Structure 1
Amino acid sequence: MRRTLTLISVLALMMSMLAIPAAMATPDNHGTTGKVTLCHATHSTSNPYVVITIDPAAIFRQGHDGHHGAGQTFFDIDPTPGPGDRAEWDDIIPAFDYTYREGNQTVSGSYPGMHWGDGPLWNDDPDAAREHLLSRCFPEGEPPFVPEGNVSVEKTASTRFTRTHDWSIDKSVDPETLRLYLSGDDSTGTATWDVDVTYEGFEDGGYTVYGTIEVSNGGNTDARIDSVDDGLDGADVECEVDLAGGHVLEPGDAFECTYEVEVADGSAGTNTATASGDYLFSAVDPELDDEPFESTGSANYSFGTDPDDEVNACVTVTDTNAGFGLKYDSDDSTLCAVDFTEGMSESFTYSETFDRSDYPTRGDACVGDEIINEAEVVGDEEVVLDFATATLTIEVQCEVFAGETATGFGPEWRRTKGAPNNWFMYTTWADIADGGADLIAGQHHNIGTVTGTRNGTTTLNFTLTDGWELAGVTNNVKIHPFACPSNPSTFKYVQPGQFSSKTTVSSTQTSFSVTGLTNTTCYGIHLDVGRWVPDPTF
């Protein structure tokens, strides 16, 4: 039958308490410090004792002071019996002093030992006490080798977090609409843009706990390590040894793991790592069972107020309007959070003047402009954090063609029923030949002259002045030769459709001639003319 080392289970408990002062016993939480070596009774008559070193709390909580083995009485009543007196075996425990906390009270006392005889107090002289112990457990000689498992875990816990800064931008233009007239003070206008960048504060995140986990074997027996886990959810543990199938850790050896995990927030905490496996006692003594264990190590962690990494701590302000770059260089347009508090803004202002002369004045080409430009606040990795646009509308006054009808100066046509208010005149050859006749438009505008020559037929030469030009229509020059009436008051008005000569002349020609006309004494002249004037409806 195989023997089981029954006290191995207390060893993991003992290793977790190494940091408490030597004489402190705390039965309430099964923890003490300063270890006490005792002889533990087994169920073997051939090997009645094993020597173990345990936390004194185990003596109170796990009943070593009442534990019996098997065989003859060794210590029954007589505190110093001889080997021949054995009928029942008990644990042999040194005497020691203890102090522990129970609630709000400090409890101190002394344990008298069990079957200790006149041995020294363990606290006073552990070496002498151990020698006394061995002499009582093994009066015939040295104790046999006893396998002992002692895997310990130590870990570190460092922290880091990232601070991400937030910025916003706004842009406006004043006025939003510029109206540019063809002349006067209003033929120019100035627009002013405002770009406002606001620091919106920061948000901390990416709270990460990381560090090392060292697993070491302080016992005298191989230990198989099956897993190393970190207590924080989602922790990624990487070890320098392969734990697949278990890693055998020899006495005195150690290995290291690293871990890293992102936690929910910046709260402080305690992080515990656990190494699990088996003490390979059967490899030392086939009659012993392997003993499973879990060893833990903890480290406290906290996050400071200063981040390890910052995102968008400094930003650059850009603008598609060239006026921005002309006024602000890269230093001016770089903003850093260290210079701001939340809600604080930085303003950029620049202006541009527009002139009506920069735009066409006539026809379909006479249109204004819509200037849309964008400002951006650009963070790390050239990421645009925010943008804003402003639109300036430029409206321009155009020239419109004001059309009129022109005729040669002379007697007026008869005011007939069909044209009671007719002011049109007809021109005599005598006036044309005598230095020319004026051209009259809209009754009041002298727009040029008409002269003529004759060489078998009559040629009339026209000259338009003061910005007047022919309208861009068909048959814009109409002439009707006729004999001057002896009684002009009875001469009826010639309708435009009755003119015998109809010619289309380009509107770009301000001087032109009509040839092949009949030689006669009078000529009816009808010109479709006009001139470009500022749009009165603008």
Structure 2
Amino acid sequence: MMKHARRLALGVAVLLVAAGCSDVNDVAAPTFDAPEGALFSAEAEPQVLASSVYSEVWDGIRGLDSERCDKVGEGPRGPEGWMHWIFATKGASTDASLTLGGTGSGTYEPGEPLEANTWHFYTPFFELDGLTAEIHLNGAPGTGGGLVLSDYCPGGKTLDVTKTADTKFTREHKWDIDKKVETDKGFTIGEDKTPKIWLYTDGSGDETATWKVDVTYEGYEDRDFVIFGDITIKNISTDAAPKSVTSIVDDIGIPGYGNVLVSCTDGADNAFTNANLPRDIAQGETWNCTYRVEITDGDAKKGDQGTNVVKVRVAGETDPYVDTDPWMFDAPTTEINKTVQVTDHSDLFGDKLLGSVTAPNKRTFTYDRDFAWADYGADECGSYQYDNTAKIVETGQEADATLKVNVQCFIDETAYAKGMVPPALQVDSFCEAGFSQWGWTNKIAAGSYSWPMWAGAGQCDTSRGERVGKVDVTYATGSFSAIITLEPGYTLLEEHVYAGSTQFPQVQQGRRRVNTVAPGQYYIEGNLSGDIWVIVHGVVGFPDPNFGPAL
């Protein structure tokens, strides 16, 4: 148990005559031996205030926990022990006295600071159990907390020992992340059911894809439990000779952790530990010590609590000096990944921050994109794969989703116009003229004509080809036009027209001009007149008939 002297120790206040009634002539002053150099004596005979207009009795509770032997030497607090009483507030009172009874005795006048707005009294120490106190005021008090025992020390002790016990632990939050992409039509491909979009040239496959990133909270793990604190040891003995501290034993209250290392510095800042004892501590010297105990994972959890006890022994004394402080692992001091950031990297959207999630919540991030054949067109038809990765930045966890997009292509085919006789004057095939390329040249007079466009008619045989549209030709002296119109589902990718006086276009070859049917060499002569020859060529695209999901 903690040491407490049971004798009366003289404080710094002036001792007044003990009084249990207003007739001070009937009360004898208490007698005691004042130590050499004490600031009060038993010779003074002050009285309970005869003009007292207010009194208040101490409740016997307030201040019982205010033992502060570490304050020895502060102001009138001597090593013999003391009681420091406070009454708040003075109000209109101009004088006061404090009378102790029960285990205590004496009437005491106020001590410094007299100019404060509260009354201060310093008395010797008396046994707390059974002690009574009553204050008398000359004048009305102000509002405040009343009479309280502010601090005290029993005196007669060699050491004053105080300690603190603090805790800390780390909580790491756990997360999971998942990602998927879904389409309106729900087509998939492969064993892994990868979503796939089929974009048709007519727009019938246009649809929206939606990505979802689910971040879920998976609980937490507590670790790195630590109990730590300070221990202060002060020599408050009245004996000028140094004292030998033989042991400092700190017990945190968890089995298996009794041999706690305590690190100290003495009054000259010399460092040592409780493994380096015994060691002398001079009168008035203070040792400032610290300790830290790391608890093995599994030996502690949130909510665990206990009492940390330190015992300091002095050579020649039977009982140790003890102080305690309760501890509890009530809340984590460090939280890892309590709030996490979620990012997204994709071929379609680039890098973006989706947002954050804070434990214990979960969150779903959703975004979408419309896909249309027109966004790609014939020039960018084909197959595409769009990969997408979502990531929890703090943990590095990732989730992937893949979307495949097929864009229908046109199949290119050569097409030529073939006139009919009549109304055309003459229609000759390239094949008959000895060219390897198939097609037709048409001789016409001034007028308007409408001819079918044939695609894929190899060897100049229309039964091998397909009629894909028509061309409307209008010719008059000095003017010429040819307008191609295709059947639905076909696209005109290129067109070339020849109109001239010779059966075929002609190009310079050395010193002579020769006939050609190469579409890139076609031209329209200026100042057309009379009968002319016309060749109309186009490159026609039509949707790939094999495009689409397998049925």
Instruction: Please tell me the TM-score bracket, short chain as reference.
Output: 0.3 to 0.5
TM-score, normalised by the number of residues in structure 1: 0.47
Larger helix share, 1 or 2: 1
Larger strand share, 1 or 2: 2
Q: Which has the larger radius of gyration?
A: 1
